[in-house]
Amino acid sequence: MLTSNLETTNLLSAVEKQVTSTSGSQTFSQDWLAFSDRFNKFAPKLLEELGHLYGHKEQYKAFLVDLILVAYQSFQIRPADLKALDKQREMHPQWFQSKKMLGGVCYIDLFAGDLRGLQAQIPYFKELGLTYLHLMPPYKCPVPNSDGGYAVSSYREVSPSLGTMADLREFAAALRKEGISLVLDFIFNHTSDEHEWAIGALAGKPQYDDFYYIFPDRKMPDAYDNTLREIFPDAHPGSFSQLADGRWVWTTFNSFQWDLNYSNPAVFKAMAGEMLAIANIGAEFLRMDAVAFVWKQLGTTCENLPQAHGLIRAFSALVRIAAPAMLFKSEAIVHPDDVVKYISPEECQVAYNPLQMALLWNTLATREVNLLQQALEERHNLHPDTAWVNYVRSHDDIGWTFADEDAIKFGINGYDHRQFLNRFYVNRFDGSFARGVPFQDNPATGDCRISGTCASLAGVSQGDHLAVKRILLLHSVVLSSGGIPLIYMGDEVGTLNDSNYVDDVAKADDSRWVHRSKRVKLLYDSRHDQSTVAGQIYAGLQQMIVQRSTCEAFEGGQLTGFRTGNASVLGYQRGTDGSKVLVLANFSEFEQYCSPEIFSAMPSDVNDLLGNSLVTLPLRQGLTLMAYQVVWLNVSI
């Protein structure tokens, strides 16, 4: 749908009229000028997307005026330092492609008790080299059932046990001062059942009519369930939960997480207000939670529908207008073809890379790099204004989200292979080094995912002497393949599974808590002592982090595959002629040899950025890699 300039101008003057009636003339105010400038630039996109979603609704025009008013009002109260950051980021839109970018993620309570405690950890975050910190959701949520903060009762309040909104703002500013960008979640697929909208909807308040999907009986839930995938089968079969009064409500995840109804424009407007309020706290990346599920349509899987993309692009356009320093990060843990559809300069500029994550663990189990090599060669490169967030572990489970079509090219049957991986990682496979725990084991479909910390999955639990090497190997790919590497706090010092969660009724039936343990002081205290496992992991990571941040080749996200001719050795190149690095990674516990022919286009003697700088490697003799060894060869010409 094309939008004429006239329409844009009319909208803007309708909004101005409304603001003027309460606070005097806007026309020449700084805020109005900045806002209208950006509005004129991004309104066509915003209106195009909203037109598709809601253009047919009654009162569409009034909805638009209200929405833009919400955007302007939140821009007006946006703190001055964030407005300055807006301008700066507009001038350097590729800032997040820097080789210095490094992410971390933690729970506030588990890592440091509360926000004040976390603020005291900023020197540690700097020591590690972080430039990005994702706090697990700090918002008010039901107690004790909160899905780790992913059931939000108010986006405008901080959970009292963590601190106040003022603490969160202060924390954001303190991070920003140290060059660390705050990442917060936008949990927009659902709210908790204790959110005032949910309470209002349940009580039949007309303004919350159609905020959620509530049905009088099983007729519609059954009709939808026919084509839906079960996401949390342990919590409830299907995607609906029964209310005390007998009605049914859509709950993709837990029964206390009610899915919002975005076919209702009032929901879009209300959530846009919450989103911009989060932006004004100082979030520089907004983690778009559970993007795949936000639009529903009968007869479909209700995942990854085109309208879900339109919705996110509309939110994104609003952000460009009212809080442009903030970028979106998508959390789509789905088929790789679907994952990339969320990534574009106009939708989510960065995205979790669940395929790389899953295939790293796959490769460690099989010792064959085939699938990972293929994924890097065929599915890694993105639009240059966007980036992957590469990670080894997150707060969630590991799902085997590779494409069956990709696997079959190597004669691998996806279903059988997933069964093998599940057995391998939950220690039901002879000789496995991993000690994971099943998550949402679904005997009906054979589906199962894996919980466990990086260290426990890599073999530290049994004192396996190769475990540290495995951990460093996985992180080496995340740190060198291009995009923003993300460390799950605790992994950098080898935190093990913590089974105490089973004693907590609110956590007992969710095995993901096994890898959500408190910060283990002892491990952090020994991080500089290389006689400890924590110290060895920490030192190995530090070396890679420092090398990466100083080597031009690691800028940006583009990569070129490099075939090593050895089934256990992964290969790829980063950078261009000025600065070029060849990464080789041995995924087996045995020595592996790469023969000289593969290096014919390389300089004859090279340095390994991860090795002794005085030793040059004569590539004309081929190269032998030790068990799980990784080299970052400087092959600049």
Q: Using CB under 6 A as the criterion, which residues of the chain lie in contact with ligand GLC when the complex forms?
A: 147-148, 150, 187, 231, 253, 289-290, 292, 331, 333, 395-397, 399
User: Which CB sits closer to ligand GLC, 224 or 524?
Assistant: 224
405: annotated active-site residue: no
- 49, 86, 331, 510: the catalytic one is 331
Query: Measured in Å, how far apart are the chain's first and last C-alpha atoms?
Result: 50
Decide if 594 contacts 625 (C-beta within 8 A).
yes
At 380, phi and psi to the nearest 5? -90, -45
User: Which CB sits closer to ligand GLC, 142 or 596?
Assistant: 142
Calpha distance 83→86 (Å, rounded): 5
Q: Which residue has the tokens 């993309």?
A: 309
Cβ neighbours of 209 (radius 10 Å): 14
Decide if 201 contacts 211 (C-beta within 8 A).
yes
- Residue 354 belongs to what H/E stretch? helix 354-366
Cβ neighbours of 629 (radius 10 Å): 21
Calpha distance 457→515 (Å, rounded): 10
Q: How far is the CB of 253 from ligand GLC (least distance, A)?
A: 4
Calpha distance 528→536 (Å, rounded): 8
Q: How far is the CB of 232 from ligand GLC (least distance, A)?
A: 7
CA dihedral 495, 499, 500, 503 (to 10 degrees): 160
289: annotated active-site residue: yes
- Side chain identity at residue 120, one-letter code: A
Q: How far is the CB of 292 from ligand GLC (least distance, A)?
A: 6
Q: How far is the CB of 137 from ligand GLC (least distance, A)?
A: 9
User: Which CB sits closer to ligand GLC, 187 or 479?
Assistant: 187
The residues pairing with 625 across neighbouring beta strands, listed in sequence order, are 592
Cβ neighbours of 498 (radius 10 Å): 17
Q: How far is the CB of 631 from ligand GLC (least distance, A)?
A: 34
From the list 568, 547, 525, 545, the residue with the least C-alpha distance to 475 is 545
- Residue 168 belongs to what H/E stretch? helix 165-177
User: Which CB sits closer to ligand GLC, 332 or 610?
Assistant: 332
Q: How far is the CB of 170 from ligand GLC (least distance, A)?
A: 26
Q: Which residue has the tokens 């992913």?
A: 150
User: Which CB sits closer to ligand GLC, 290 or 457?
Assistant: 290
Cβ-closest residue to ligand GLC? 150
Give the single-character DSSP code of 46. H
User: Which CB sits closer to ligand GLC, 181 or 304?
Assistant: 304
User: Which CB sits closer to ligand GLC, 72 or 250?
Assistant: 250
Q: How far is the CB of 328 from ligand GLC (least distance, A)?
A: 15
Q: How far is the CB of 507 from ligand GLC (least distance, A)?
A: 12
**Strand, helix or coil for residue 450:** strand
Q: How far is the CB of 376 from ligand GLC (least distance, A)?
A: 23
Calpha distance 71→126 (Å, rounded): 34
Calpha distance 332→326 (Å, rounded): 19
How big is the CA angle at 113 (ends 110 and 114), to the nearest 5 degrees? 115
Decide if 80 contacts 90 (C-beta within 8 A).
no
Q: How far is the CB of 311 from ligand GLC (least distance, A)?
A: 16
**Alpha-carbon distances of 405 from 337, 342, 361, 367, 372, rounded to whole Å:** 11, 21, 19, 21, 14
Cβ neighbours of 565 (radius 10 Å): 11
Directed axis angle between helix 5-23 and helix 30-54, to 10°? 130
Decide if 62 contacts 265 (C-beta within 8 A).
no
Most distant CA pair in the chain, distance: 80
Distance of CA 191 to the CA centre of its chain: 19
Q: Which two tokens stand for residue 407?
A: 């696997």
Distance of CA 383 to the CA centre of its chain: 18
User: Which CB sits closer to ligand GLC, 148 or 310?
Assistant: 148
User: Which CB sits closer to ligand GLC, 475 or 512?
Assistant: 512
Residue 161 exposed, middle or buried by CB count within 10 Å (0-12, 13-18, 19+): exposed
- 289, 347, 447, 510: the catalytic one is 289
User: Which CB sits closer to ligand GLC, 301 or 543?
Assistant: 301
Q: How far is the CB of 396 from ligand GLC (least distance, A)?
A: 4
User: Which CB sits closer to ligand GLC, 147 or 193?
Assistant: 147
Calpha distance 379→66 (Å, rounded): 41
Catalytic residues: 289, 331
